Amino acid sequence: MKIFSEEMVAEAVRVSNVADLSHATIGEMLLVAQYLEQKTGVPFVRMDQGSPGLPANRYGIEAEKRALDSGIGSQYPAAAGVRELKEAASEFVKAFIDIDISPRACIPTVGSVAGSFGSFIACCQRDPRKDKVLFIDPGFPIQKSQLRVLGIQWKEFDIYEYRGEKLRAKLEEMLADGDVAALIYSNPNNPAWISLEESELRIIGELATKHDVIVLEDLAYFAMDNRRDLSHPYKAPFVRTVARYTDNYILMLSSSKIFSYAGQRMALVCISDKLFDRQFPALAARYHDTGVFGPTFIASIQYMITSGATATTQYGYAEMLRLSCEGKIDFVADTKEYAVRAQRMKKIFCDNGFTITYPRDVTEDIGDGFFFSLSYPGLTGSELVTELVHYGVSSINLDTTGSHQQGVRACTSRMREELYPVLEERMKMFNEDHSRR
């Protein structure tokens, strides 16, 4: 039996100005769920928005307070970032990834969204022959929305059928025309929580060098692959990265998930030193500067987007990074709560007829963490996302992420203890209603 009638859901969709519930964006699904909650008082199991569900790191908060008390609020922040954050970022990358990037090439941005926006511009303007972005999907829908704003074209493919060595031939096919400026993916992945393995990162790195493509590696869920202990600074195993296999890379490190610092909109763009120093005549001609990638990115592109990242938040982020390198903050342990939630939620769904849409990496089952993907026999992704709303569960259709698989994305961040029995009861009803079909 459905929790919300067809008429009530239709009303919520109409009032929220959602054109098509089956392909609703995260924000649109949020509006529908909120409307139904407020109108009926019946709580939703919210699996739509990937907003942190843990308290913000207190060390960052205290460091921000100290910075504000010091009087820096009256000064504009430097476009390149404050020295303390740049140095802490360089050290953090060394401690947890075992990659050397100099402080000058670690640039604060107003969240990774601003970082990818500026990176897309710089990458696609550096060479007039290269004007497209390649997405290894499924991925974060906002990044394609950014390209729509910028008027940049893209290519895409669903990695589902191209894991391991199969990835090489597919990438060669996608890069053969020579028009791809940048390639982007998240690792671990939003929405499926798959993780690219070392062999796949090697393939990406080798082909990025061969075809002069810049890899944008989105590490929003840094060290949240809980299948390996990544919590010890300066000790293996380290976080996997394409940076071991090419000099054409930009790493994006967000504070939002690992430190639950989403409200402060703080991230880092860490550019390889060799790319930072590369000179591009097309950039020099456009911006009337030297055309050197790093300085142009900072002064001529990123500053036009953010006018510099908030200074106090830079000091907060610097403190959290510094204490992590010293072993005084265990952000990996802090975020393991998401893996616990994922295990419990997956069991409820799988006990009631669902399957995991993207169940494996190349050599092992996917881990548990911030996201996972769900399918139900006989239902398309469009049908499933719509049906779940009627049972008080909000998610997003995988096809909005570039996936060609039939299913939905589930986020664990908003799950609360009292909602597990609610979810179990509703999914039993869902399975009873749909298994009869």
Distances (CA, A) of 182 to 64, 135, 151, 209: 35, 9, 15, 11
- The least confident of 286-290, 412-416, 432-436 is 432-436
Question: Is the pLDDT assigned to residue 436 strictly greater than 80?
Answer: no
What are the strands of the beta sheet with 355-356, ordered from one edge? Answer: 355-356, 371-375, 408-411, 396-397
**pLDDT single digits (tens) 137-192:** 999 999 999 999 999 999 999 999 999 999 999 999 999 999 999 999 999 999 99
The candidate with the shortest Cα–Cα distance to 369, out of 403, 339, 404, is: 339
Across-strand partners of 215? 183, 249
- Give the CATH number of domain 6-54+335-435: 3.90.1150.100
Identity of the amino acid at 208: A
pLDDT above 90 as % of the chain:
97
Q: Which two tokens stand for residue 45?
A: 């199991």
Averaged pLDDT for residues 202-215: 98
Percentage helix, strand, coil for the chain under 3-state DSSP, each rounded to 5: 50, 15, 40
CATH 1.20.1070.10 assigned to domain 58-325? The reply is: no
**Would you place residue 50 in the very low, low, confident or very high pLDDT band (cuts 50, 70, 90)?**
confident
**pLDDT single digits (tens) 394-411:** 999 999 999 999 999 999
Averaged pLDDT for residues 318-328: 98
Name the H helices within 70-140. 83-97, 111-125
Identity of the amino acid at 285: A
Asked if residue 411 lies in contact with residue 48, where contact means CB atoms within 8 angstroms, the answer is: yes
Asked if residue 267 lies in contact with residue 109, where contact means CB atoms within 8 angstroms, the answer is: yes
Chain mean pLDDT for the chain: 96
Asked if residue 244 lies in contact with residue 201, where contact means CB atoms within 8 angstroms, the answer is: yes
Across-strand partners of 371? 411
- d(C-alpha 12, C-alpha 31), whole Å: 8
Asked if residue 158 lies in contact with residue 170, where contact means CB atoms within 8 angstroms, the answer is: no
Place of tokens 């992945």: 189
The candidate with the shortest Cα–Cα distance to 171, out of 235, 101, 108, 242, is: 242
- d(C-alpha 105, C-alpha 276), whole Å: 7
Across-strand partners of 251? 217, 270
Across-strand partners of 135? 156, 184
Question: Is the pLDDT assigned to residue 437 strictly greater than 70?
Answer: no
Asked if residue 196 lies in contact with residue 188, where contact means CB atoms within 8 angstroms, the answer is: no
**Would you place residue 412 in the very low, low, confident or very high pLDDT band (cuts 50, 70, 90)?**
very high
- Identical fold at 6-54+335-435 and 58-325? no
Domain boundaries, the chain: 6-54+335-435, 58-325
- d(C-alpha 42, C-alpha 2), whole Å: 12
**Would you place residue 435 in the very low, low, confident or very high pLDDT band (cuts 50, 70, 90)?**
confident
**Would you place residue 49 in the very low, low, confident or very high pLDDT band (cuts 50, 70, 90)?**
confident
3-state secondary structure of 303: helix
- Mention every residue, 6+ apart, whose C-beta is less than 8 A from residue 1: 429, 433
**pLDDT single digits (tens) 9-45:** 999 999 999 999 999 988 899 999 999 999 999 999 9
- d(C-alpha 358, C-alpha 194), whole Å: 7
Taking residue 198's Cβ as centre, other Cβ atoms within 10 Å add up to 13
Averaged pLDDT for residues 109-130: 97
Q: Which two tokens stand for residue 185?
A: 């993916």
Across-strand partners of 394? 46
**pLDDT single digits (tens) 291-315:** 999 999 999 999 999 999 999 999 9
